[in-house]
Amino acid sequence: MIRGRALFVVPQEEANLRLGGAPVVGGKVDISNSVVPELDITYFFTKNFAAELILGVTPHNVKGAGSLAGARIGSAWLLPPTLMLQYHFTDLGPFKPYLGVGVNYTVFFNEKAKGGFTDFDLKDSFGFALQAGFDYMIDEHWGLNFDVKKLFLEPKVKVNNGLVAGKVKIDPWLIGAGVTYRF
C-alpha cells in the first residue's frame, strides 16, 4: 500500500537552555508550524499486521519566547523517516482503522542562524512515535486516508558555538489527509 498525504506539522516545543553554563530563566522557543507533502509505504505481513515507512521533509523557523521573546534564532529543515509497526482492524467494510507504534530518526539540515546569532546547530536524534488513523476504501485499490501521529523528539541544540546550549523538545503532532492506493 502507498499513501500520499498533505501533512500539517504542529510542534509542541519546550526548551531547557543554558547561557554560558547558567540556566536561561524563562527561556523558551517557538517553532513554526508547517504544511508539507508526505509519502508512506506500507507492507502487510498478515491482514492485520503491517510495517509502514513514512517519508517527508519539513522546514521550520525558530524564535525566542518567554524571556527570549522577539529573538529570531534560526531555521532548519527536518528529515524525519519513521518506521511504524501497525495493527489494522478488519471486518468493518470499507472503513479500515489502524494503530501504530514506531521509531523515528530525525536528521536536521540546512540550519541557518538568524538575528544576531552566528551559528545554529541541532543534533540528529532518535525518538518514539505513536499513530492512529483510518483508510476509507472507495474500491478494491483506491481509498481516502486520515492519520494522526505524535513524535517524541528532543534534540540537543547549540547557538553561537555553544554559548547557548541545551535540549529542545519538539514533540510534533503530525496531522495528515490524503489518498491510499492498495496493490
CA nearest to 61, candidates 17, 105, 124, 11? 11
- pTM exceeds 0.85: yes
Q: How far is the C-alpha of 97 from the C-alpha of 93, rounded, in Å?
A: 11
Q: Among all chains, which residue has been given the C-alpha cell 471486518?
A: 91
- In this predicted structure, what is the pLDDT of residue 6? 98
Q: Where are the domains of the chain?
A: 2-181
* Class of residue 35 by CB neighbours under 10 A (exposed 0-12, middle 13-18, buried 19+): exposed
Q: What is the CATH T-level fold of the domain 2-181, as seen in this structure?
A: Porin (2.40.160)
Q: For 21-78, write each residue's pLDDT tens digit.
A: 899 888 899 999 999 999 999 999 999 999 999 999 999 999 999 888 888 999 999 9
